[in-house]
Chain A
Amino acid sequence: MGLRERSFRRSLWLYHFNATSCNACEIEILAAICPRYDPERLGVKLVGSPRHADILLVAGPCNRYVAPILKKIYEQMPEPKIVVAVGTCACGKGVWYDSYAIVGVDEVIPVDVYIPGCPPRPYLIAAGLAEAAKLLEAKAAKMAELEKKGKR
């Protein structure tokens, strides 16, 4: 792996999106970012804009009102990007599995990493971020290969 892919692996900028979540997952995400687990030593940083982000953290089941906004946010992120669904709701709608108002995150945007739990523990979120870092590295490598082919 070259410098390019490695830098993708060790520099994860998160954008956190609340898709009609009940805030429990948000609190656990904050706990995962706080000093006890300190993901900044692995290069994790929360950013305020999807344009800067590599990883989209989605929590909540995503209702019909939020679905187009979630899609827009996803489209605003530059490639390569990874979507991490945090919590049971984001993974498979949870208790709202047959609700008329709920669309489901993975039906709106492609989800790469699922972190189940209601809410998931902070170390599970950290493990999910580590998985996302690997996937991001693989995606960056793929992009580099495609670029090389394009140049030839």
Chain B
Amino acid sequence: MTSPLLALAKIGAAVLAVLFAGLMCPYIGWLRRKIRAKVHGRVGPPWWQEYADLVKLLYKEDLIPATASRGWFTLMPALCFAVAISLPVLIFPIFYSLSDLILIAYSLLMVSVLLILAGYASNNPYSIVGARRALLAVLMYELPFVIVLITIFILTGTTNIFKIITWQALHGPIIMYLPLSAAAYVMCVPIKAILNPFSIATAETELMEGVLLEYSGKRLALLEFAHKMEFYALALLFAIVFTNLPGFTISTMATNSYMAAIWVLWVIFIAFIFSIVVSFVDALTARLQPYKAPKIYWIITTILSVVNLIVICMLKIAGIV
């Protein structure tokens, strides 16, 4: 298992996963805009719109506001981008010791926290209000999100993505066992990726993009990219953790490359469907008032996740699952 050729193949797979995610993120951003345009009855932007936006931002002038704390202002976007591009490597089952739910949850949180710190670093009143709202959002979604992950751990007995995939291959997709947890997960996504019913952190009309307000050029491109990557990573994690194909264990995929290809296509297909559904909700709904979101998260989402946790614990004790 530890031959240099295998290690090389793994590194190649990791690079491929990052490159593919890098190409996918602007595409998913475009999908969101196109779905919104279709809901409005418009034509919408062409498919390469978000790539053009990113290229343009890379070549814009680099401005650092006089009021911002210079070091943090330059450091945060780079760090945020660095954490974000590591997400697909963690989520795809490539390196055994890296693909772990705890590490993934931590990295997903890290992207949000670095975005918040970037907002504080720009030292603009609007950014600081946006950063505070984003912090409140972290407090809102993190509890049900972690409870969902704990439920998965109790059900499968492991936090490793490899073992979770194998467990699903033997027992069927986890969404059959944890429908309420899956619903709680889906509810956590809009606020984690700052999408519409809960886009209170970067409210365009009241806070002028909130944490992103003072960023321009390359740094804005990095932050936008990290933000889209977070959404893509959440969609991928849903596809792998909740809806894995039965029969596709890691060991069969390691020997049969056709099965591995089918599995990758299936995961990307589910991630696509997931992002289309979330984008559709984003286009249909208006932004909630900031004080209404905590009630929804702390009551509905937390209850959904806790109920499923209790049910799974009881089934485990009874020895049914």
Please, how many residues of chain A have a CB less than 8 angstroms from a CB on the other chain? 26
| Partner among A3, A38, A41, A54 whose Cβ is within 8 Å of the Cβ of B46 | A41
Q: Does B11 contact A (CB under 8 A)?
A: no
Q: Please, what's the 1-or-0 string for A38-74, where 1 marks a CB less than 8 Å from any CB in chain B?
A: 1011010001110110100000000000000000000
Kindly specify which of B2-10, B80-88, B213-221 makes contact with the partner chain. B213-221
Q: Does A78 contact B (CB under 8 A)?
A: yes
| Partner among B42, B43, B61, B213 whose Cβ is within 8 Å of the Cβ of A79 | B61
Distance of A140 Cα from B55 Cα, bound (Å): 12
- B61 with A48: CB separation less than 8 A: no
Which residue of chain A has its CB nearest to the CB of B203?
A48
A residues in contact with B41, CB < 8 Å: 35
A residues in contact with B212, CB < 8 Å: 49, 52
Q: Does B69 contact A (CB under 8 A)?
A: no
Give chain B's interface secondary structure class. Answer: loop
A residues in contact with B12, CB < 8 Å: none
Q: Does A8 contact B (CB under 8 A)?
A: yes
**A–B pairs, 26, beta carbons within 8 Å:** A4-B55, A4-B59, A7-B53, A7-B55, A7-B59, A8-B56, A11-B49, A11-B55, A11-B56, A13-B53, A38-B37, A38-B44, A41-B44, A41-B45, A43-B45, A48-B204, A48-B205, A51-B213, A51-B215, A51-B216, A52-B216, A78-B60, A78-B62, A78-B217, A79-B60, A80-B61
Q: Please, what's the 1-or-0 string for A110-152, where 1 marks a CB less than 8 Å from any CB in chain B?
A: 0000000000000000000000000000001001100000000
A residues in contact with B43, CB < 8 Å: 38, 40-41
Which residue of chain B has its CB nearest to the CB of A136?
B56
B44-95 CB contacts (< 8 Å) to partner A: 44-46, 49, 51-53, 55-56, 59-63
B98-126 CB contacts (< 8 Å) to partner A: none
Interface residues on B, range: 20 to 34
Distance of A140 Cα from B56 Cα, bound (Å): 9
- B213 with A10: CB separation less than 8 A: no
Distance of A78 Cα from B40 Cα, bound (Å): 31
- B42 with A49: CB separation less than 8 A: no
Q: Does B142 contact A (CB under 8 A)?
A: no
| Partner among A6, A40, A47, A51 whose Cβ is within 8 Å of the Cβ of B52 | A6
